[in-house]
Amino acid sequence: MSKQSKRAKAAQIRETMAAEGEAVQENTKGFNQGRYDSVADLEDYQGLKDEARQIKEAAIEQLPELIEQLTETVEENGGTVYLAEDEADANEYIQSLVESGETVVKSKSMTSEEIEVNEHLESAGAEVVETDLGEWVLQLAEEEPSHIVAPAIHKSRASIAELFRERFDPDRPLETPEDLTAFASEQLASKFDDADVGMTGANFLTADSGTMMLVTSEGNARKTVAATDTHVAVAGVEKIVPSVEDLQPFVELIGRSGTGQDITSYISLLTPPVDTATFGDETIEGAEDREFHLVLIDNGRMEMREDEQLRETLYCIRCSACANTCANFQQVGGHEFGGETYTGGIAGGWETGVHGLDSSEEFVDLCTGCSRCVEACPVGIDIPWINTVVRDRINRGADDHAYDFLVDGLTPDAESGGMSYQKRFFGNFVTVAKLGSLFAPVSNWLADFGPNRWIAEKLLGVDQRRDMPTFQRETLKEWAGDRDGPTDPDREVLMLADTYTNYMHVERGKAAVRTLEALGVSVEVADVTESGRAALSQGMVETATKHGEAVAEELLPHIEAGRDIVMVEPSDLAMLRDDYGQLLDEKTYEQLSENSYEILEYVYGLLENGASADALADGDGEEIAYHGHCQQRTLGLAAHTEAVLEELGYDLITSDVECCGMAGSFGFKQQYYDVSMAVGEDLREQFSTPEAEGRTIVASGTSCHDQLTDLMKQDVPHPIELVAPLERA
């Protein structure tokens, strides 16, 4: 962010959303829904994903051997293999295959975009024609792809019609998608007739037979190969798998995960040089002299393989699921949420690996770590973690700032100097909360005092349009310390009250304690509050690790004494269940992960195991609307909340969005306020339908609560507040 002011960044995002947001939103949401529908048809979706993951893990593990084997096989088949170290190396080789004045037809290939081969060939006097309709439109418009599967996803039908009118002045009006498609096909048909060289990518390469798999729907990749007598395939080295049979899970997953098609129209399994005939002038000719060149691109990939944190990126099969399921991507598209070539969540890994941190820095903060993409990814890549690591590396590489001592005094963290104040402020929010609670209510008056809001925006980039959370004078820990629990408890719980629950949203913590006590459980509130989520979301890995170690130190003796850990905030629970696997030693992580529960998951378990719901509140048919938290859904825990509320007699409807848009501190940041509100708009609409209107709205996450109170102008309690019995006299 040092390169561009927060205000300028906010303006740029607004502009992109105005120009492209509508088309991006419609298409990505369609793809995402298609994915849900299509994978639901599979008998064993999870089994296929596991199989796909294992194949990629093993293939990347033995990559050097596979490169060698594939090279031998392709050469045996009569082709040539060139292993290109970087972009320049690849371009120089490809240029040597194309003569000035020749026509190169291309089918869609992101790897060819990565090396910018078109520009190189054109500067050497060749004509390069993209034949995928989306890519061709972008070539005419001189724009960059904004999506790895549907490159022109940001272009509306009207803007394409306008482009064709300007460029070709066609003799018939082009209005409908059918008109535009037919016109484009005609224009490109003659290009195929003139073509000398055909260039494709490759979705997969099999080392045992030298077969390449291409996943397409238009038929242009087939024509690119059949219509030319020189075939150049450009592929990253990570595309190799051991055998033809290994392709099976990918064939079944790639279309479903990306655009929601069960399978694309054409899966080409080519073992080049292919023996398909080609058109001569007068006759159909055999292809005995067809040349084939496989250009394998390293360009940083072998280093990624050695980099423990980036390595998983190489498992990516470029399906686009992570982009389509991402609430922020749905609003801004790949021109904002993307680097030099790659777009969407996984772009953080790709861009860092192939182009460097500078390319990632432009967009990686648009990943809020909500984790919805992990479930969507057909090979289960931990995309949020990769983006956290990328943020951490950017933080560490930042220049020194002259005023660090001011913020350092406030924020005792483990990070090196030079990080933005905004990241420090949000990453160390627990310090702010402790002080805020200590000096409440004065601190609240100060926080809301006009000039201070202005300073907070100037210095920290906290958007003035957001309501600040209110600090409570009495913390949950203090309140709980004065209580007598049940006399003969069935179980004992240590409650890890997160920073918000302890210092600000104390009422949800109190409701949790009362609920547990009513079900015969004694509750102690832990001293430690901060799981490290806030720091991790800013990429402050070291600080987050220190928080994790402090949590482990306090919690492990309780766990060993047979107590269960219960938490109210899903994003903090996700630290224990998931992120600590990256931060702490394995044994510690397992203990914390296996013994921690979300509050309503725990209540559900107690009720299932014989506790009586009579002791809890009576829903009595009250109409409520529930919004689950994104990380809670990824952990598979939203159902427990819904079950408990229904059991108590509430009349429940639920939201159906990937994320509320607030995502921790994201929506408070000046540069992302508009994206956050645009994401929230979906939720506002869902909760404003005739069916939903007037219902009590409940939400599990703190940031969802903040977002929904801003959007709906009503109080938004935590579900536990509807479950808890009234306070005992």
Partner 1 sequence: MATTAGDSTSERFTTALDELDVGWRTTTAEALSETLTAFPEPIVGAPLPFEGISLPNAITRADDPESVKAAASGVTAGTLGIADYGSVLIESTPPEAELVSLYADTHVAVVRESDIVDSMTAALESLGPRLREGRGNAIVATGPSATADMGALVEGVHGPGDVHVVIVE
CA dihedral 637, 638, 640, 645 (to 10 degrees): 160
Handedness of CA 480, 482, 486, 489 (dihedral sign): positive
Q: Is 262 in the site for partner 1 (CB under 8 A)?
A: yes
- Among 63, 269, 639, 692, contact with partner 1 (rule: CB under 8 A): 269
| One-letter-per-residue 3-state SS of 592-630 | HHHCEEEHHHHHHHHHHCCCCHHHCCCCCCCEEEEECCH
* Strand order from edge to edge, sheet including 651-654: 651-654, 623-627, 696-699
Interaction between residue 540 and partner 1 (CB under 8 A): no
Rounded Cα distance between 637 and 631, Å, is 9
Phi, psi of 650 (to 5 degrees): -80, 150
284 forms part of the interface with partner 1 (CB under 8 A) = yes
Closer residue to partner 1 (CB): 259 or 537: 259
Cβ nearer to partner 1, comparing 131 with 368: 131
Alpha helices in 41-143 (DSSP H): 45-61, 63-76, 87-97, 110-114, 117-123, 133-141
Exposure class string for 62-87: b at 16+ Cβ within 10 A, else e:
ebeebbebbbebbeeeebbbbbbeeb
Compute the least distance from the CB of residue 389 to partner 1, in Å.
Answer: 35
Q: Any contact of residue 691 with partner 1 (CB under 8 A)?
A: no
**Does 163 engage in binding with partner 1 (CB under 8 A)?**
no
Among 130, 252, 361, 530, binds partner 1 (CB under 8 A): 252
Q: Which is nearer to partner 1, 254 or 711 (CB)?
A: 254
Q: Is 531 in the site for partner 1 (CB under 8 A)?
A: no
Residues ≥6 apart with Cβ < 8 Å to 690: none
Distance CA 60, CA 306 (A): 10
- Binding to partner 1, residues 395-424 (CB under 8 A): none
Convert residues 4-43 into a mask of x (bound to partner 1 by CB under 8 A) and - (unbound): -----------------------x-------------xx-
> Closest distance between partner 1 and the C-beta of residue 279, in Å?
4
Q: How far apart are CA 592 and CA 596, in angstroms?
A: 6
Token reading at 399? 């220049």
Binder to partner 1 among 178, 289, 308, 488 (CB under 8 A)? 178
Beta bridge partners of 494: 524, 565
> Which one of residues 6, 154, 222, 335 is an interface residue with partner 1 (CB under 8 A)?
222
Paired tokens of 77: 């088949």
310 — phi, psi (to 5°)?
Answer: -95, -15
We find the least distance from the C-beta atom of residue 511 to partner 1, in angstroms, to be 45
- Spatial contact of 705 and 635, defined as CB atoms under 8 Å apart: no
| CA distance to 203, 250, 297, 388, per residue, from 236 (Å) | 9, 17, 5, 24
Does the footprint of partner 1 cover residue 244 (CB under 8 A)?
Answer: yes
With binding defined as CB under 8 A, does residue 265 bind partner 1?
A: yes
Task: Give me the least distance between CB of 53 and partner 1, in Å please.
Answer: 17
Q: Is 177 in the site for partner 1 (CB under 8 A)?
A: yes
Rule CB under 8 A: say whether 80 interacts with partner 1: no
Residues 476-515, mask of contacts with partner 1 (x by CB under 8 A): ----------------------------------------
Which secondary-structure segment (H or E) carries 305? helix 301-306
Could you give the count of Cα atoms lying within 13 Å of 613 in the half-sphere of its Cβ? Answer: 18
**Binding of partner 1 by 226 (CB under 8 A):** yes
Range in contact with partner 1 (rule: CB under 8 A) among 257-265, 320-328, 444-452, 608-616: 257-265
Instruction: State the residue for tokens 């969407």.
Output: 344
Q: How far is residue 200's CA from residue 224's CA, in Å, rounded to a whole number? A: 7
Q: In the bound complex, what is the minimum distance in angstroms from residue 326's beta carbon to partner 1? A: 20
Binding mask 116-155 for partner 1 (x = CB under 8 A): ---------------xxxx--x------------x-x---
Beta strands in 348-388 (DSSP E): none
What is the nearest approach in angstroms of partner 1 to the Cβ of residue 285? 9
Please tell me the count of residues contacting partner 1 according to CB under 8 A.
66
Binding status of residue 578 toward partner 1 by CB under 8 A: no
* Selected range binding partner 1 among 245-253, 373-381, 437-445, 470-478, rule: CB under 8 A: 245-253
Contact with partner 1 (CB under 8 A) among 201, 210, 353, 461: 210
Contact segment (CB under 8 A) with partner 1 among 6-14, 275-283, 294-302, 510-518 equals: 275-283
Nearer to partner 1, 279 or 449 (CB): 279
Q: For partner 1, give the closer residue by CB, 8 or 277.
A: 277
The sheet that has 80-84: what strands, in order across it? Answer: 80-84, 291-297, 230-236, 197-200, 103-106, 127-130
Which CB sits closer to partner 1, 12 or 159? Answer: 159
Q: Where are the alpha helices (DSSP H) in 398-449?
A: 404-410, 421-427, 429-438, 442-448
The amino acid that residue 209 corresponds to is: S
What is the binding site for partner 1 (CB under 8 A)? 27, 41-42, 77, 131-134, 137, 150, 152, 156-157, 160, 177-178, 180-181, 184-185, 188-189, 192, 206, 208-211, 217-220, 222-223, 226, 243-245, 247-248, 251-252, 259, 262-271, 274-284, 286-287
